[in-house]
Amino acid sequence: MNNRQTFNPIHYLSQFLLVLSFLTLIHLDANADGTKSFVMKDLAGKEHRLSDYQGKWVILNFWATWCPSCLDEMPDFISLYEQRKAKDLVVLGIAVDYKNEREVRHFVDDMLVSYPIILGTPKIFAQFGSPSVLPTTLIYNPQGRLVKIKRGQLSKQAVELIMLSPPNESLDALAPQ
């Protein structure tokens, strides 16, 4: 009996791609440290730091102009921001996978987005990682702790449910996936 295995490049390639896809999925989690601060500049030139928003919930939403789910959730984020910006919440949108700044500005104007928009750049991705799914939303509590990473569309109701939950309760059990 011959115990020698034949070289199968398809097998090795599929194994490599499987490992690569797994590493891509965990990349955002690894960089989105719950205690880490961030510094970002929006399209208007204003700098945003997590420490600027102590006492407020911070919603970081990674999105793209070509993403249908991103388009669907934007009205909910606009509504949340407009209703709560003076009280207890800030929304920061991070545009990814765009052609140029002009394209993002045009899209934001068409959608009547009122919350700050940041261009996803290598400097931004160095702080958070690159999202493997769009949209991806990071939610920080008023103490500045990352409490939720949601891949896929998020509704206003789901965000409000997270905001109402007790601080030590498992948020993954509360928020709809």
Give the pLDDT confidence score for residue 129 in this predicted structure. Answer: 87
pLDDT digits (tens, 9 = 90+) for 22-42: 344 334 444 454 446 899 999
Tallying the residues shown for the chain, one arrives at: 177
Backbone angles phi, psi at 120, to 5 degrees: -70, 115
Taking every pair of Cα atoms in the chain, the longest distance, rounded to a whole number of angstroms, is 76
Give, rounded to a whole angstrom, the gap between the first and last alpha carbons of the chain. 52
pLDDT digits (tens, 9 = 90+) for 99-152: 999 999 999 999 999 999 999 999 999 988 889 999 999 999 999 999 999 999
pTM: 0.77
Strands (E), 50-175: 57-63, 89-95, 117-119, 136-140, 146-151
Each domain of the chain, given as residue ranges in start order, spans 9-174
Between the CA atoms of 77, 79, 81 and 83, what dihedral angle is there, to the nearest 10 degrees? -150
Give the pLDDT confidence score for residue 162 in this predicted structure. Answer: 94
Q: Are 136 and 114 in contact (CB under 8 A)?
A: no
> Which class would CATH give 9-174?
alpha beta
